[in-house]
Structure 1
Amino acid sequence: MPNFIIDKEEFEKYKSKIGKVFPEYTSFEKNNFNSNFKYFIGFDFDYILEEIFFEGMIAFLNKIKNDKLIFYTLDPSPENYFFTHFNKYSAFELGTHSSYEDFNDIIYKDPGESTSDSIGINSNEIALFSKSNDWTIIGSRDWEIAIAGFTSSEIKEKFIQSFRNKSDIFTTIKEQVEILDDILKFNDNIKNEYLHLVENYKDRD
């Protein structure tokens, strides 16, 4: 059964990985992926918590022969907030043998004082990754978008194909913003902010 990471050395290993993927992280919309990441696709942030996404992720990990998925909260801080309050980090591992029920349990697990502090409720920015250096997902609840970054078109296609008939949840970043605009009817200021996000996450040559 997955559980929150409590060992500092184990946490530092994953913190180091995040630091290499996002070497100068400032904010979600800036695209802080390192220069090895060339290709980006978008999807609705809320899919991260759903079963269809979980099943696709497990299929992808099996396809690339990785045996663990790491879920890591960027905001609130896993150290300054989560560890300070609960003596554990808002990060955990899931093996490819895990079920969606396992995932759902840890996502909504009370970390110590209130279920309102569970990761599924109190997480604004998150990252998903594995031992592979060829992909990472970052998502923002405030922006209502998650973005998967890849180092090659081949790994991007493997990722999308892993979701089989559910792969239509993925779009370009521009298309995802248009979907949000259709639903939320952005004012001009917000629309401009999203246009900057689209520009920042264009595929890199």
Structure 2
Amino acid sequence: MRLMNFENFFVRDNEEFNELKEMVSATFNIESKLPKQVFCQKFGDFKFEEFDFAMSGEFWNTLKQLVYQTNDDFVLVAVLEPSPVGYFYKEFNYYNWIKLPANLSADEYYEILELGPEESPADAVVYNSYTVVWLSPSMKWAIWGERDYGICVIGFNDISHRNKLSPFLKSWRSIDKIVLSWIETNFVSDGLQQDFVKSLYSNYSQDI
């Protein structure tokens, strides 16, 4: 049985955080939000899944396949909202960003997401995360998730990477009525606005 201190996977060093933030900023338009384009220009051929899936052990099995295919050593799980600096680091003296080694199990992935600050367990990533990204050092793929809309979207920076990784993303779908239905469950009273739908299709239906 492996014994690991899961707390060691959380980013605590300011210099390391800044280096990882550069990687995130080179991949995403971090000030943007859906339905706007959240990926940098080099990414395309987008596919969608439900946000709750990303908070499950099953999702880690998908991530492991991706990092294996792209020869990456770790996956960065980075919470963008609430703020990693203005809120999380200020309150708890470490960041709500996690470097996950590729050899973790699905159960360990969920345990780490469920691991919150000792003084505030409710601030664990699995509970208190509204905008989250997943990416690896190769930056051949990246995932953006928004809890409020109930979806995640994966993008690829080259069509060859898309072709190589697609077999491991069978449950992910191009933007369609089913994806819209996932989003719509979060807007029961008002329904989806047509401008939102139009913008989402405009930004995420085109291929590389």
TM-score, shorter chain, exceeding 0.5: yes
Residues 184 and 191 in structure 2, CA contact (< 8 A), matched pair in contact too:
no
Q: Who is 1:196 aligned against?
A: 199
Count how many residue pairs are aligned between Structure 1 and Structure 2.
201
Structure 1 unaligned blocks of 5 or more: none
Aligned partner (choices 101, 107, 111) of residue 105 of structure 1: 111
* 1:84-99 superposed matches below 5 A: 84-99=90-105
Aligned partner (choices 59, 62, 69) of residue 65 of structure 2: 59
| Distance apart, 1:44 and its partner CA | 0.5
Aligned partner (choices 21, 37, 55) of residue 15 of structure 1: 21
Q: Who is 1:170 aligned against?
A: 172
In the alignment, is residue 129 of structure 1 matched against residue 146 of structure 2?
no
Residues 78 and 91 in structure 1, CA contact (< 8 A), matched pair in contact too:
yes
Aligned partner (choices 61, 70, 76) of residue 76 of structure 2: 70
Q: Who is 2:34 aligned against?
A: 28
- Decide whether aligned partners of structure 1 residues 143 and 97 sit closer, same or farther in structure 2, where only a CA change above 3 A counts: same
- Decide whether aligned partners of structure 1 residues 35 and 181 sit closer, same or farther in structure 2, where only a CA change above 3 A counts: closer
Structure 2 unaligned blocks of 5 or more: none
Root mean square deviation of aligned Cα: 2.1
Listed one character per residue, the Cα deviations across residues 143-176 of structure 1 (whole Å, up to 9, x for unaligned) are 111000111232123323125xxx2x21112244
Moved more, 103-112 or 135-144: 103-112
- Decide whether aligned partners of structure 1 residues 152 and 176 sit closer, same or farther in structure 2, where only a CA change above 3 A counts: farther
Moved more, 4-13 or 183-192: 183-192
**Structure with the bigger percentage of helix:** 1
Aligned-partner residue type, residue 178 of structure 1: L
Aligned-partner residue type, residue 170 of structure 1: W
| Distance apart, 1:177 and its partner CA | 2.9
- TM-score of the superposition, structure 1-length normalised? 0.88
Residues 130 and 148 in structure 2, CA contact (< 8 A), matched pair in contact too:
yes
Moved more, 139-148 or 171-180: 171-180
The CA distance in 2 between the partners of 1:158 and 1:49, in whole Å, is: 24
- TM-score of the superposition, structure 2-length normalised? 0.87
- Decide whether aligned partners of structure 1 residues 9 and 185 sit closer, same or farther in structure 2, where only a CA change above 3 A counts: closer
Flag as ranges the 4+ runs of structure 1 deviating above 4 A. Answer: 181-189
In the alignment, is residue 156 of structure 1 matched against residue 162 of structure 2?
yes
The CA distance in 2 between the partners of 1:127 and 1:151, in whole Å, is: 16
| Distance apart, 1:113 and its partner CA | 2.0
Provide the secondary structure at the position in 2 that maps to 1:149.
strand
